[in-house]
């Protein structure tokens, strides 16, 4: 019976079958990754303390800003690589890969040197609202920032896997990194005592080394014909990468503003301890987002290929199937909400009592995000993101004042922060589905077709 079910699941269009195989593989890998991440949180909190762990979370949200400096080149490569490969132009795909690596490497080095200069004038204790030893904190920040500047270069291999409709490979790299991190935490617990610099440096270096070795391996085996070389770098193609990449750059920037400022606002209004509570709730309900991402992650590049080949029926059917599946996630979200307090207690016993309003708002948030995820993947895959870019700019502008108003002025704390994010997400629901159907049915004109 199981064999027949698997055969039925793996039937259909060749592109759909390929996506389904990687969905099954990704479910297994992501399942392991989710389990590891759930174990890492209580272990890390127990090793550091809720306050120090909250400091680490805020620091990581600040460091994530560095990803903003790739100016959308990663996603630009994702689209251009998929299109070139669909057209059978491997030489062009290699040029895109080589040029992207060259530009991102230059940017990464430049950003790190600028950071070293600016860092002398920054008081991290004030930014993080903490009283940790300034020397320890400064060393940690330099290590984390330095490693991250190299990370967003070597992690381009993930974009190539996803562009090639092999998200399971990207998931494997991330899962391996998480597994090593878990082992390292166990070692730190046995050999050291609550060192933020040991934990932060270990996590950072692991997330650099794993994709670095993956890049070296795959660029010398299955992806050898796309291996980046200086002779294949052609900066004249930067415009092609940037034409769509700049829109992704703006959207990524808006997302980073929201993610980074959420933690900073919470730590300033309520202290680092509530950052820990907020992120535990975020991780718990984020399981819904992670699972839904597994299902839809391969669709971006699949839509790019299908759009290049004018296969509108396949795109239309794919969107309908995923939206039907999303309805089931509403039930899952409600069940997770009802049992959330029991899960928090079993998972992180030392966590303060979590307000039901925070859990409820987080449930609403993840269901809103997943509802528009498939439309966002379609629009990104076909390169029609002008409206989404304008929306990102608007949300990036209103999110900070709205978060402060809800969290501080209305006294809602972290619940108010996620409420402000929900307001921004709701706006997407008003236009993205309409734009998708206009494009698929050949009715998109003007701003709807850009």
Nearest to 444 by CA among 372, 365, 386, 381: 386
Element (H, E) at 368: helix 356-382
**Which DSSP symbol is given to 352?**
P
Position 97 scores a pLDDT of: 92
67: tokens are 């990803």
> What residues contact residue 306 under an 8 Å CB cut-off, 6+ apart?
15, 312, 314, 315
CA-CA distance, 138 to 29, in Å (whole number)? 35
Q: How far is residue 169 CA from its own chain's centroid?
A: 16
In this structure, are residues 257 and 396 in contact, taking their beta carbons and an 8 Å threshold?
yes
Closest CA to 175 of 21, 26, 19, 23: 26
Residue 181 has what pLDDT?
85
pLDDT at 362 (0 to 100)? 93
What is the DSSP secondary-structure string of 96-159?
A: HHHHHHHHHHHHHHHHHHHHHHHGGG--HHHHTT----HHHHHHHHHHHHHHHHHHHHHTHHHH
pLDDT of residue 2: 45
Instruction: Note the maximum CA span of the chain.
Output: 66
The residue to which tokens 């998708």 are assigned: 436
CA separation for the pair 364, 424 (Å, rounded): 13
pTM across the whole model: 0.64
CA distance 398 to 408: 15
Q: Which of 421, 334, 305, 324 is nearest to 371 (CA)?
A: 324
Residues in the chain: 450
pLDDT by 10s per residue, the chain, length 450? 445 544 544 455 555 555 555 566 666 776 777 788 778 888 888 888 777 777 777 777 676 666 555 556 777 888 888 888 888 888 899 999 999 999 888 888 888 888 888 887 877 777 776 667 777 777 888 888 888 888 878 888 988 888 887 777 877 888 888 888 888 888 888 888 878 888 888 888 888 889 899 999 999 998 999 999 998 988 888 877 776 666 666 776 676 667 667 777 888 777 777 888 888 898 899 889 888 887 777 777 788 888 888 888 888 888 888 888 898 899 999 999 999 999 998 888 877 888 899 999 999 999 998 988 878 888 888 888 888 888 888 887 888 888 889 988 888 888 988 898 888 888 888 888 889 889 988 888 888 988
Domain boundaries, the chain: 11-449
Residue 70 is predicted with a pLDDT of: 58
What is the separation, in whole angstroms, between the first and last Cα of the chain? 47
Look at residue 6 in the predicted model and tell me its pLDDT: 45
- CA distances, 426 to each of 105, 319, 404, 423, 437 (Å): 36, 19, 19, 5, 18
* DSSP letter assigned to residue 164: T
Q: How many degrees, rounded to 5, is the angle at CA 85 between CA 325 and CA 78?
A: 60
Measured CA to CA, the distance from residue 74 to residue 157 in angstroms comes to: 10
Query: What whole-number distance in Å separates Cα of residue 399 and Cα of residue 421?
Result: 7
Q: DSSP labels for 215-239?
A: HHHHTTTTTGGG---GGG--GGGHH
Q: Which helix (H) or strand (E) holds 161?
A: helix 156-163
Q: Distance (Å, rounded) from C-alpha 289 to C-alpha 281? A: 13
Which tokens sit at 46?
A: 């127990």
Write phi, then psi, for 291 (nearest 5 degrees).
-65, -45
| Residue-by-residue DSSP string for 270-330 | T-HHHHHHHHHHHHHHHHHHHHHHHHHTTHHHHHHHHHHTT-HHHHHHHHHHHHHHHHHHH
Q: Which two tokens stand for residue 241?
A: 């990468």
């Amino acid at each position: 019976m199981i064999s027949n079910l698997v055969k039925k699941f793996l039937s259909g269009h060749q592109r759909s079958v390929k996506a389904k195989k990687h969905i099954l593989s990704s479910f297994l890998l992501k399942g392991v990754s989710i389990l590891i991440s759930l174990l890492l949180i209580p272990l890390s909190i127990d090793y550091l303390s809720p306050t120090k762990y909250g400091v680490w979370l805020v620091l990581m949200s600040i460091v994530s800003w560095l990803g903003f400096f790739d100016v959308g080149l990663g996603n630009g490569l994702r689209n251009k690589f998929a299109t070139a490969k669909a057209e059978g132009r491997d030489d062009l795909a290699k040029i895109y890969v080589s040029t992207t690596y060259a530009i991102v490497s230059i940017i990464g080095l430049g950003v790190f040197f600028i950071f070293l200069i600016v860092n002398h004038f920054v008081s991290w204790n004030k930014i993080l609202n903490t009283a940790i030893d300034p020397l320890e904190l400064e060393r940690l920040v330099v290590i984390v920032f330095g490693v991250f500047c190299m990370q967003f270069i070597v992690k381009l291999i993930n974009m190539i896997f996803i562009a090639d409709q092999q998200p399971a490979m990207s998931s494997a790299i991330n899962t391996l990194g998480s597994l090593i991190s878990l082992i390292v935490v166990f070692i730190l617990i046995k050999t050291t005592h609550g060192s933020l610099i040991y934990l932060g440096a270990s996590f950072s270096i692991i997330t650099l080394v794993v994709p670095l070795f993956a890049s070296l391996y795959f660029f010398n085996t299955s992806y050898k014909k796309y291996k980046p070389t200086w002779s294949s770098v052609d900066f004249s193609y930067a415009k092609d990468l940037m034409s769509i990449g700049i829109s992704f750059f703006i959207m990524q920037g808006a997302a980073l503003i929201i993610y980074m400022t959420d933690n900073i606002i919470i730590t300033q209004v309520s202290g680092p301890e509530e950052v820990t509570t907020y992120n535990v709730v975020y991780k718990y309900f984020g399981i819904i987002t992670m699972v839904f991402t597994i299902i839809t992650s391969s669709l971006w590049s699949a839509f790019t290929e299908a759009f290049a080949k004018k296969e509108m029926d396949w795109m239309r059917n794919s969107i309908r199937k995923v939206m039907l599946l999303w309805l089931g996630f509403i039930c899952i979200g409600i069940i997770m909400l009802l049992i959330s307090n029991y899960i928090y207690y079993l998972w992180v016993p030392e966590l303060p009592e979590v307000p039901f309003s925070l859990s409820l708002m987080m449930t609403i948030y993840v269901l809103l995000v997943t509802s528009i995820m498939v439309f966002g993947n379609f629009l990104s895959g076909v390169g029609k993101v002008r409206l989404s870019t304008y929306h990102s700019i608007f949300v990036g502008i209103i999110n900070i004042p709205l978060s402060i108003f809800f969290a501080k002025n209305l006294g809602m704390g972290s619940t108010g922060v996620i409420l402000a994010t929900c307001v921004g997400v709701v706006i997407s629901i008003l236009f993205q589905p309409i734009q998708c159907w206009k494009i698929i049915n050949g009715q998109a004109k003007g701003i709807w077709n850009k």
